[in-house]
Structure 1
């Protein structure tokens, strides 16, 4: 790669890191909204990783996998509707993205914990829908 091009692109490459570091000191509504969105993205990424692990464990159980997909779609619809309602008091305002993102992050983190529980199932536990390792 051309060294001049790399130097020109360096600030763009470091910008996400700088923005992430500023979240602790976010003082504008825009910055707080961006930080809340970043937190949701991180939680969603963890959720997707766990979801993939669960679907992998269900590879020999197509009916169970189908139920998981259905449950996850319903959960996403619930999360979005619930957070739309929770943030409705500030609809149209500049704080709406913050309130909405905080809600989706909280619900996503709760779903992450549920998925982690599924991944700890012990062999022979009939109350657990995900087979152990």
Structure 2
């Protein structure tokens, strides 16, 4: 179960990284027209990563010291990372 949860997190992380490679250059392109969107996005992503990691440690605390703790942490990371990927997708505006 831990391995499957870890694989699910790896999948989610890969998807987020692929989306980042679309969203970040898009924001840099928007910066060329005025703004600091790319820098704000980078700050946001760094803060989000800290939030995700801290939040998932809390989620795993229910099972602290047990064999389910790594699975709970990985499941939390996968779930939050999937949500972040969707957020990053919405930032590529179709106008």
Give me the TM-score of the superposition, normalised by structure 1: 0.65
Moved over 3 A (4+): none
- Residue 67 (structure 1) shift: 0.6
Unmatched segments (≥5 aa) in structure 1: 1-31, 124-133
Unmatched segments (≥5 aa) in structure 2: none
Q: What RMSD over aligned residues (CA atoms) do the two structures have, in Å?
A: 1.2
- Equivalent of 2:77, from 104, 121, 126? 104
Deviations 1:22-72 (A, max 9, x none): xxxxxxxxxx10110010000000001111101111223172111111000
Task: Give distance in 1, aligned partners of 2:38 and 2:91.
Answer: 13
Matched, 1:36 2:5: yes
**Within 5 A, what are the aligned runs for 1:47-58?**
47-58=16-27
- Residue 97 (structure 1) shift: 0.7
More helix by share: 2
- Equivalent of 2:94, from 117, 122, 128? 122
Give me the TM-score of the superposition, normalised by structure 2: 0.89
Tell me, what secondary structure is at the counterpart of 2:28? coil
Tell me the number of residue pairs that the alignment of Structure 1 and Structure 2 aligns: 91
